[in-house]
Structure 1
């Protein structure tokens, strides 16, 4: 009799325990503009294979209606493919995860266009042999790191969606926002060249470039937190995150930390 009671209690316990299905996050690095090796049709086929419940876009809420439909007809690979997928599968949910007001924020603080002005000035100084040996070495390394990424981005999508490419992207961005500042924080040119912000205040190239580096961190960290918020609100769903492939390494590194001890798994789109 006691054995029967134990068995019944065990069965009741098993049945009463709800086993939650793990949430899956799949970060897909993309090329925004169509290319022979990556276009909206190729991305749509990837989405067909993955079969996501949610597709998260590297956009802020201003691009969507209150019901998360695109306000304007999309023209990027991610926009065209996701809209096509949402039309074929009406239950799919589209969501933005970008830093709100990204472009306006950068313009207002002065990090844009001073970031572009700074890199152009660096190029001209290096071409004129005006950088020191150590400075030129940093700048040459920064430029060289772009070459393998151009090659990888011309191949099939799995070639720019893997840890090896992620590590190259990470090093390249490290050189852009950490190593180049060793030059801009030292040389007087970047202290004495200025840009006028929308509010009329002047900002030096040096300060603007530093702010651009700070915003690279802030933006990616904010995007990862937004992805996590959506994921935690939708337990057990398969969530595809579409991003420019240069962001992939940063978002994944953040998500690896944020998903620790949570019922959330990170997968590649080509993993079964």
Structure 2
């Protein structure tokens, strides 16, 4: 039977760690002294990242996992506990969108819901009992401004759902010692937005926001901050957002 080694560092499980926001977050948390369990489907990319950050493999481990699979989720949590003995933070970052075209033309649009919404819920359900028993832990869900300002049916549905789940879970856990934070990025330069032609900041800005809410928990953070404006407009003047969206769609369909 494997015995976990004592670990004085905070232990974070990070999904979707092989690229983009996930890889940037791994680098930022490593710099801040976290022990990490990095999970993604692409093991080769995970191993390259681990070698970059911790060649000894004592502070950072990798787990190949498809978060939509129950067995993989359970294996991920088990490996984290086997190596480090506890999980202080779960960062649900893995996410996908419809690659091209409209969601109704995609052969399997529901996979977006499974990855972006079902998987975070189920992973949270796996780690919560121990966190509640210890009266210590943090859940950070990476949603999207698309979970406030709707613009793509399935993707926005998944992020609206994740946002609602996070905000409600935070209230359900008040006084338990477990904090829940939501980080909602706008357009960020990653593989997910490779087809977009608008100026975008790199994923490091989101990585810093995630690391910051781990140190100082907040209800919700929008990244970059200027996305607060469209979020506010969606609440007080949705017709303005409709007009901007219609203009963008008209240019797209020309």
TM-score of the superposed pair, with normalisation by structure 1: 0.32
Instruction: Kindly indicate which of the two structures has a greater share of residues assigned to helix.
Output: 1
